[in-house]
């Protein structure tokens, strides 16, 4: 929808999966648009050109990949809430990514980060209590960073390098690469 990108024609009709590298507001907005129904998008200010491309989309699964963990995501509770409330869309988060987070850690967080972390935990728990199969879903993968993009003319796969947390005194975590690859 940006005028300087009017010629951009993403090929969303070639696959049913998309990978978005990043865990910020823009990443969640992109996932939300890719997974939203055309009827819902038509009610927004999205451009006709973008809507036409999305009508042809086969994308049903969107994976957001972050180099850090759930305590360091850059999106806000508003973007997460919008994504979790999409009709016919299921979240798929890995419980193991949240095992290191305890109530003591949550209690020490600033209010916005605390609310966001609590919603992430609620989303993980809801996923495990309701294992229904949805037509569309989104995944949130942590502790990975792109190592290599593969494909001749388009990206066909991505090799990820695992990162690992190194805790410090302030609950923020730095990353060190681990020599494991995952496509």
Entry field: residues in the chain:
183
Full domain range(s) for residue 98? 3-182
Total-model pTM: 0.87
Mean pLDDT by 10 residues, the chain (183 residues): 77 95 97 97 93 96 96 95 94 92 94 96 76 82 95 93 71 53 54
C-alpha dist (Å) from residue 133 to 64, 88, 92, 97, 127: 19, 9, 11, 22, 11
Q: Dihedral sign, CA of 56, 25, 145, 61?
A: negative
Residue 144's Cβ-side half-sphere holds a number of Cα atoms within 13 Å equal to: 22
Counted domains in the chain: 1
Query: What was the pLDDT predicted at 169?
Result: 43
Q: What is the CATH number of the domain that holds 119?
A: 3.50.50.60
For residue 52, give the 3-state DSSP assignment.
Answer: helix
């Amino acid at each position: 929808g940006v005028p300087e990108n009017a010629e951009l024609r993403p090929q969303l009709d070639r696959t049913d999966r998309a990978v978005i590298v990043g865990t910020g507001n823009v990443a969640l907005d992109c996932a939300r648009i890719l997974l939203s129904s055309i009827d819902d998008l038509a009610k927004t200010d999205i451009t006709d050109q973008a809507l036409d491309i999305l009508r042809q989309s086969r994308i049903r699964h969107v994976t957001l990949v972050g180099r850090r963990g759930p305590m360091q995501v850059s999106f806000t509770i508003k973007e997460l809430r919008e994504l979790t409330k999409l009709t016919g869309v299921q979240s798929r988060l890995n419980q193991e990514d949240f095992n290191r987070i305890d109530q003591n850690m949550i209690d020490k967080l600033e209010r916005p980060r605390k609310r966001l972390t609590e919603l992430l935990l609620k989303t993980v728990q809801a996923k495990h209590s309701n294992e229904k199969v949805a037509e569309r879903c989104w995944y949130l993968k942590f502790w990975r960073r792109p190592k290599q993009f593969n494909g001749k003319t388009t990206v066909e796969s991505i090799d990820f390098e695992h990162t690992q947390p190194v805790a410090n005194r302030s609950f923020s975590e730095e990353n060190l690469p681990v020599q494991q690859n995952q496509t």
